[in-house]
Amino acid sequence: MKRLSLLDANGRVALVTGAAGGIGRATVGLFKAAGAKVVAFDRDRARLPASGGPVLALAGDATDEHAVRKAVEAAVARFGRLDYAVSAVGCAVSGKLDGITLAQWKQIIDINLTSAFVLARECHAHLTRPAGAMVLLASTNGRNGGGPLSGAAYAVAKAGVINLCRYLAKEWAPEGLRVNSVMPGPVATPMLDRFSAKQHARLKASMPLKHFAEAGEIAAAIGYLCSEHAVTMTGACINVSGGLVLD
């Protein structure tokens, strides 16, 4: 029997939105190491991986349909195809419901959920058939309702991501396209920097494994879902939460 590595992406092309974040950068690195050419897309130009060789870095807003469309078109024009699309965009606002403004609510929904919808719609026609794969970044907050640390809008948006994944899995399956999601718990990235040391300790104590995931661990789950190991998986949500959520 042929022994498969986690991900053999030689000759393949990936587009990663949210590529300047901790998980996004790790995902770009994983695809690159697996032999893929990668389009790294994020609005934070300064923190994007450097362009060159197999990586094309593009600055833009993941909620802007025109910017995302141009990124998809650039991937196909530069590298000739599109095999994987990963939505690794995420942003949260702490606080109870009555302390969140309408503008903040809309912003968080847009960044976390609308961005996934936009990427899915714009990349759909270009994904390789069969065997194209899309992975959406969800969160335990989308499964358990979250709390004030990440806020109501984040929990609602990530629940929407999980169900967008399920919907797309059914709609795209006849075309041979797979759509899955990854549901991290707390991850040791700058997104946790907004918490105090006391909040960090309390959050870690609430996890059965007492361990924050590393960005590379989430990237590995994304890579698995894009790999030949997962060819019969679609509509799945992989739980990487240190036991914080138990399916």
* Enzyme catalytic residues: 154
Q: Of 70, 60, 72, give the one whose Cα is nearest residue 18.
A: 60
Distance CA 242, CA 193 (A): 19
Q: Are the C-beta atoms of 118 and 68 separated by less than 8 Å?
A: yes
Compute φ and ψ for 158, nearest 5 degrees: -70, -30
- On the question of a cis peptide bond just before residue 130, with omega within 30 degrees of 0, the verdict is yes
Q: Are the C-beta atoms of 23 and 221 separated by less than 8 Å?
A: no
In sequence order, what DSSP letters do the residues of 165-234 get, joined into one string?
HHHHHHHHGGGT-EEEEEEE-SBSSGGGGGS-HHHHHHHHHTSTT--PBPHHHHHHHHHHHHSGGGTT--
Distance CA 73, CA 80 (A): 10
